[in-house]
Structures are given as C-alpha cells and as structure tokens.
Amino acid sequence: MNYMAQFTPNGASFQYRDEEKQAFKDLAKLFEYRIKLERTSNGIFKILVFNDTCQDVKKAFRANIEKLMRAAAQR
C-alpha cells in the first residue's frame, strides 16, 4: 500500500480523473480534503517521532517509506 493511499482515487496514486479534478473546484471540498491529508500525515509523524512504543512497527514503516521514496526517485 502506498503512503496515504486511503485518500487517493484508486487507492494507489494521486493521479485524478477529470471529474475528480472538477470536484476540487469547489474550494470547500478541496479544503476539507487537504485538512484530512494534513491531519493524517501529522498524526503519523507525531506517533513516529514522539512515541517510544512499537519500535518494530516504526522500523518497518520507515523501511516501507524508504522503499517508496527510492522507487519514486527511479521513475
């Protein structure tokens, strides 16, 4: 699963169809979507940085993010 995939149109990438792009012309919808992305990302960050529990989960998460970043850099 890609990072933040739960917020993507097809659960895989942030490539939107034309009708999805049209929906974001409604600034209230766009703002609501942006807030969801920010809150989720900030929540993940706080857990990974400030919480001393679940070190094995954090290590696996970091490895997954690094893998995604390497793959993106090779494109």
Boundaries of domain holding 74:
26-75
Tokens 């890609």 correspond to 2
Higher pLDDT, 2 or 61: 61
What confidence tens digit (pLDDT) does each residue in 14-58 have?
778 888 889 889 999 999 989 988 888 888 777 777 667 777 877
Asked whether residue 52 is assigned to any structural domain, the reply reads: yes
> Total structural domains in the chain?
1
| H or E stretch at 44 | helix 27-50
3 in a domain, yes or no?
A: no
66: enclosing H helix or E strand: helix 55-74
pLDDT for position 12: 66
